[in-house]
Chain A
Amino acid sequence: MKNKTNLFYIILMILMTISGFGQMPIFKRYYVADLPGLGWTANFIITHYLHYFGAILLISLFSYQITLFFITKEKISNLSFASLIKIFILIFLLGSGFLKIIINLKGGVAPAPFIFSLDLIHTGFTFLFIFYALFTKISLKKNY
């Protein structure tokens, strides 16, 4: 079960990273969208909806795991340091994304610095997550 959850997380995070990077106009510029079958990566509406769809799954999975963690009375000390760091990053990623979604609701506005900071945090923590996941994968040979 744990391996299945890990695999699901990895697939989801890959989907979120690709659709998230697809929010920036880089896939067309750097020929990614020219590759056969990847034309959709340059369609901002498709990547936007994919990102939302992935977020629904990610939020569900994350709240599922957190709830299970508490009701089975597991101790935080049982978690590896790497897992704690990843959970911390995920909270920021999900939190900033969630706030952005609220602002994006029809008729929503928020102060400019607030929106800018949300975008910065969301993008910054994405990079942090990718680098940390690669780092732990390579040097610690551990997963979640």
Chain B
Amino acid sequence: MTSKISRKNFLKKSFFGASALSVSPLALSAAFPKKELATLINLNKCIGCEACVYACQESNEHKFPKPKKPFPQMYPKRVKVADWSDKTKITNRLTPYNWLTIQTVSVQIKGEEKEINIPRRCMHCQDPPCVILCPWGAARKNDKGISRIDSELCLGGAKCKAVCPWEIPERQTGVGLYLDLLPSLAGNGVMYKCDRCYDKIEKGERPACIEACPQGVQEIGPREEIIKKAHALAKETKGYLYGETENGGTNTIYLSPVPFSELEKNRPKGKGRPHFKQTKNALEQGDNLAKIMFIAPFAGIVAAFGRFYGFFKKNSLIQENQNEK
């Protein structure tokens, strides 16, 4: 990680944040982007060469953690250290140093055994629980549909991993802002995951994994177009799609020649190896509650007027009764 994590940076972010609050209408006008970008991963094409994996590592190396050792003693003792700094070459699972992994699955297609290679990384949900539920604002989604974790702000509490349906983010202890705050009592490092090369996309370039692929497995484009293309390809190849509706919709669409239940059954299992299960949006009721919340102030106002009117009416009746007497 090349950027400096310090109190100064932290305060600077707060200051600029406070300035941003002063232009809140402007900030809110950006709340609803027009076009999210999605990727289509065609599993018919992937040969499992891992060119994407190494391109990702090379391209994002400057973002990888450089932990300070020894790690601070953490309390209580149940808090475990997550240290991947001596295992940076691992590629068969997701780690803070490996944001993209290939799962190889053997399946039967028309009676023939075939290997399907599946690049796995963050799905970049449309409604990302990691972003919505991050208590610290360290995880965020940009207008290109990318969710990423700010390594300067993340405290490594791993809530994002707990709420991610695919448990994608991975923690590295001994790095990040928590070291400057209460290293023994709060936080435990920084969470890392694919940021879909947001910095390259900002410059109009394609993510490293897409650029490096010799087979053209992945393509990126506006979500609507990618969805259309995915459906057309699925129809043409009698294939199956994953990611369009999972967790309320993601910006990563997989096209497979076999049902995803087959891939799920036979995929390598274990930590850092995401699943292919059907996944409902755990936060889908949030929007409904939010709508009720928008009505709540008016309900309060109506109730107050109701009470006032009732009180007024009651007083008038008492007054009338007294006058009659």
Q: Which residues of A contact B (CB under 8 A)?
A: 23-26, 29-31, 44-45, 48-49, 52-53, 55-57, 59-68, 71-72, 98-99, 101-121, 123
Say yes or no: B286 contacts A104, CB within 8 Å.
Answer: yes
Q: Which residues of B contact A (CB under 8 A)?
A: 13-14, 16-21, 24, 27-28, 30-33, 36, 76, 78-79, 126-127, 132-133, 135-138, 140-143, 150, 153, 157-159, 162-163, 186, 248, 282-283, 285-287, 289-290, 292-293, 296-301, 303-305, 307-308
Say yes or no: B18 contacts A115, CB within 8 Å.
Answer: no
Say yes or no: A111 contacts B159, CB within 8 Å.
Answer: no
Can you name the residue of chain A whose Cβ is closest to the Cβ of B18? A117
| Whole-angstrom CA separation of A113 from B12 in the bound complex | 10
Q: A44-B162, A56-B293 are in contact. Are A63 and B300 (CB under 8 A)?
A: yes
Q: A64-B303, A117-B18 are in contact. Are A24 and B157 (CB under 8 A)?
A: yes
Query: Could you name 19 residue pairs across A and B whose Cβ atoms are closer than 8 Å?
Result: A31-B76, A49-B289, A52-B290, A59-B297, A59-B300, A60-B297, A60-B303, A63-B297, A63-B301, A67-B300, A67-B305, A71-B305, A71-B308, A107-B127, A110-B27, A113-B19, A114-B24, A117-B18, A120-B14
Can you name the residue of chain B whose Cβ is closest to the Cβ of A55? B293
Complex contacts, B296 vs chain A, CB 8 Å = 55-57, 59-60, 63
Complex contacts, A44 vs chain B, CB 8 Å = 133, 159, 162-163
Complex contacts, A105 vs chain B, CB 8 Å = 31, 287, 290
Say yes or no: B150 contacts A112, CB within 8 Å.
Answer: yes
Say yes or no: A45 contacts B163, CB within 8 Å.
Answer: yes
| Whole-angstrom CA separation of A65 from B300 in the bound complex | 8
| Whole-angstrom CA separation of A104 from B136 in the bound complex | 14
| Whole-angstrom CA separation of A52 from B138 in the bound complex | 21
Task: Give the 9 A-B residue pairs with the shortest CB-CB distance, closest first.
Answer: A117-B17, A63-B300, A67-B304, A116-B137, A64-B300, A113-B17, A25-B157, A59-B296, A119-B137
Task: Return the contact of B17 from the options A23, A67, A114 (Cβ within 8 A).
Answer: A114
Can you name the residue of chain B whose Cβ is closest to the Cβ of A42? B162
Say yes or no: A114 contacts B20, CB within 8 Å.
Answer: yes
Say yes or no: A71 contacts B304, CB within 8 Å.
Answer: yes
Q: How many A-B residue pairs have CB under 8 A?
A: 160
Say yes or no: A108 contacts B32, CB within 8 Å.
Answer: yes
Give B142 Cβ to nearest chain A Cβ, in Å: 6
Complex contacts, A119 vs chain B, CB 8 Å = 135-137
**Chain B binding surface SS class:** helix
Can you name the residue of chain A whose Cβ is closest to the Cβ of B133? A44
Give A35 Cβ to nearest chain B Cβ, in Å: 14
Give A22 Cβ to nearest chain B Cβ, in Å: 9
| Whole-angstrom CA separation of A63 from B24 in the bound complex | 22
Complex contacts, B153 vs chain A, CB 8 Å = 116
Say yes or no: B292 contacts A110, CB within 8 Å.
Answer: no
Can you name the residue of chain A whose Cβ is closest to the Cβ of B143? A109
Give B30 Cβ to nearest chain A Cβ, in Å: 6
| Whole-angstrom CA separation of A71 from B311 in the bound complex | 12
Complex contacts, B292 vs chain A, CB 8 Å = 56
Task: Return the contact of A49 from the options B14, B159, B285 (Cβ within 8 A).
Answer: B285
Say yes or no: B137 contacts A102, CB within 8 Å.
Answer: no
Give B36 Cβ to nearest chain A Cβ, in Å: 8
Say yes or no: B31 contacts A108, CB within 8 Å.
Answer: yes
Give B193 Cβ to nearest chain A Cβ, in Å: 16
Say yes or no: A102 contacts B20, CB within 8 Å.
Answer: no
Can you name the residue of chain A whose Cβ is closest to the Cβ of B249? A106
Say yes or no: A118 contacts B126, CB within 8 Å.
Answer: no
Give A18 Cβ to nearest chain B Cβ, in Å: 14
Task: Return the contact of B27 from the options A45, A52, A53, A114 (Cβ within 8 A).
Answer: A114
Complex contacts, B141 vs chain A, CB 8 Å = 109
Say yes or no: A26 contacts B186, CB within 8 Å.
Answer: yes
Q: A44-B162, A67-B304, A113-B17 are in contact. Are A23 and B135 (CB under 8 A)?
A: yes
Say yes or no: B20 contacts A25, CB within 8 Å.
Answer: no
